[in-house]
């Protein structure tokens, strides 16, 4: 058996160079796994396990998963100062200092432990238990989360001219990058909304404006796309954000926020209600966090002309434990539909029996309606995308391949 080892730089290089057809191969691998999970196939998704060391102050998280393709476990190592209130998502690799702390993640106070960026790896096995791969987890996690969102982005039939993006980190980058790769000919403007000017906000502009070559932009159809960063210290910030949100066709929320990122009444006008939008929220991951306003969730559950009466989620069990905005809104399992239930193979019945209003209504809603997607992430996503990545890396001669492991 051959064990494939991939570093974060190797994974990023592979994923950055995907063609549209290659990206679709990854998406289909994830869609198949999510469908399998949501339809009750042989899938095991145990709760994660945490181990804390009082000697080092480190917490290590272990997230196992298993399906028909194989088995996997993601391990993450976290180290942070005891005086700071840090929050970290085991599913998304997001880490931040709370507002109660004045320290930055790169500094420590006397007598506290240092802060490092969460680091981890995904270990993969085939269905018979033979080792397949050892993959760095950072880029892989951001990519697979954005890939799940892409399953809904690619179904949008209306215009995708303007993307509004809250946050400037890895998740924000990959959500925009995959949208441009898959639907770049439609996108004309991307606006990143950040609390302040930061290295991350400067970096994300540099990546899209100059790091990605002109030939790539030309091939993918977004050479003329404009990029902008809005920050709170700019004059007229609130007004400008409202303008961007009214114009937006897709809104990506990629921040570990403890309060809604925008006023839920921004689309309350008749004109605002008439335009269908896709809102993706992947940044908040604890009961105390929330990105999407409660008004927006309640409206989505109201079965209006452009709503289906549900919120789309990656895993019902996961969001009811971790998604603060849905918990606060008192959403019940019956008001949630898993993404895997919407990714049905041809010839099967979409959605749970009696849940929707027929295939025509479902298709229309996904294409032009108001759709909210809430994702907290879970192991099956790492497993399915990781196994596919191992084979893709082998085919491209990338990675360290240990024979007879």
Q: Which H or E element spans position 105?
A: none
Range of the domain at 37: 3-141+381-402
Cβ atoms of 357 and 364 closer than 8 Å: no
Q: Are residues 290 and 356 part of one domain?
A: yes
Whether 85 shows a pLDDT value over 80: the answer reads no
Q: Are residues 192 and 326 part of one domain?
A: yes
Q: Which residues partner with 79 through β-bridges?
A: 58
| Local confidence band at 168 (pLDDT 50, 70, 90 cut-offs) | very high
Cβ-based neighbour number of residue 102 at 10 Å: 9
The predicted pLDDT at position 81 comes to: 43
Cβ atoms of 374 and 311 closer than 8 Å: yes
Q: Are residues 110 and 239 part of one domain?
A: no
pTM above 0.75, yes or no: yes
Q: Are residues 303 and 172 part of one domain?
A: yes
Q: Are residues 147 and 126 part of one domain?
A: no
The predicted pLDDT at position 347 comes to: 58
Of 30-44, 99-113, 193-207, give the lowest mean pLDDT range.
99-113
Q: Are residues 233 and 258 part of one domain?
A: yes
Q: Are residues 329 and 259 part of one domain?
A: yes
Give how many domains the chain has, as a whole number: 2
| Local confidence band at 88 (pLDDT 50, 70, 90 cut-offs) | very low
What are the helix (H) ranges across 154-195?
170-183
The predicted pLDDT at position 76 comes to: 85
The percent of residues in the chain predicted with pLDDT above 90, rounded, is 68
Mean of per-residue pLDDT scores for the chain:
86
Q: What are phi and psi of 165, to 5 degrees?
A: -130, 115
Q: Are residues 321 and 199 part of one domain?
A: yes
Q: Are residues 265 and 254 part of one domain?
A: yes
Cβ atoms of 108 and 81 closer than 8 Å: yes
Cβ-based neighbour number of residue 79 at 10 Å: 18
Cβ atoms of 26 and 147 closer than 8 Å: yes
Q: Which H or E element spans position 1?
A: none
Cβ atoms of 305 and 276 closer than 8 Å: no
CA distance 265 to 298: 12
Q: Are residues 310 and 294 part of one domain?
A: yes
The predicted pLDDT at position 79 comes to: 63
Q: Are residues 388 and 290 part of one domain?
A: no
Interval 315-336: pLDDT, tens: 999 999 999 999 999 999 999 9
| Local confidence band at 30 (pLDDT 50, 70, 90 cut-offs) | very high
The predicted pLDDT at position 27 comes to: 97
- For residue 325, the 8-state DSSP code is H
């Amino acid at each position: 058996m051959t064990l494939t080892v991939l570093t974060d730089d190797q994974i990023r290089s592979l994923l950055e160079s995907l063609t549209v057809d290659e990206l679709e191969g990854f998406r289909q691998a994830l869609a198949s796994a999510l469908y399998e999970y949501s339809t009750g196939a042989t899938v095991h998704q145990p709760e994660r396990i945490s181990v804390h060391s009082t000697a080092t102050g480190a917490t290590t998280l272990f997230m196992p998963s298993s399906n028909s393709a194989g088995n996997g476990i993601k391990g993450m190592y976290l180290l942070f100062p005891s005086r700071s209130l840090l929050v970290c998502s085991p599913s998304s690799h997001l880490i931040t200092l709370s507002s109660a702390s004045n320290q930055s993640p790169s500094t420590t106070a006397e007598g506290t432990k240092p802060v490092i960026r969460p680091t981890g790896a995904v270990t993969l096995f085939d269905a018979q238990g033979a080792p397949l791969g050892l993959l760095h987890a950072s880029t892989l996690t951001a990519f697979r989360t954005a890939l799940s969102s892409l399953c809904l982005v690619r179904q949008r039939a209306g215009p995708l001219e303007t993307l509004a993006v809250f946050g400037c980190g890895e998740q924000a980058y990959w959500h925009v990058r995959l949208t441009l790769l898959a639907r770049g000919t439609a996108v004309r403007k991307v606006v990143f909304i950040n609390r302040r000017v930061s290295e991350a906000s400067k970096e994300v502009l540099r990546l899209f404006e100059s790091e990605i070559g002109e030939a790539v932009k030309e091939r993918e159809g977004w050479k003329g796309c404009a990029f902008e960063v809005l920050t709170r210290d700019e004059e007229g910030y609130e007004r400008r954000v409202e303008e961007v949100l009214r114009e937006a066709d897709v809104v990506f929320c990629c921040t570990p926020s403890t309060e809604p990122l925008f006023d839920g009444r921004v689309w309350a006008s008749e004109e605002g209600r008439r335009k269908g939008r896709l809102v993706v929220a992947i940044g908040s991951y604890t009961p105390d966090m929330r990105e999407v306003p409660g008004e927006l969730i309640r409206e989505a559950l109201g079965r209006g002309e452009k709503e289906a009466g549900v919120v789309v989620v990656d895993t019902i069990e996961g969001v009811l434990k971790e998604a603060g905005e849905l918990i606060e809104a008192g959403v019940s399992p019956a008001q949630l539909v898993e993404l895997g239930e919407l990714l049905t193979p041809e010839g099967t019945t979409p959605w749970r029996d009696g849940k929707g209003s027929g295939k025509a209504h479902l298709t229309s809603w996904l294409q032009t309606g108001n759709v909210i997607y809430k994702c907290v992430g879970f192991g099956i996503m790492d497993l399915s995308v990781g196994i596919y990545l191992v084979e893709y890396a082998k085919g491209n001669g990338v990675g360290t391949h240990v024979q007879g492991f």
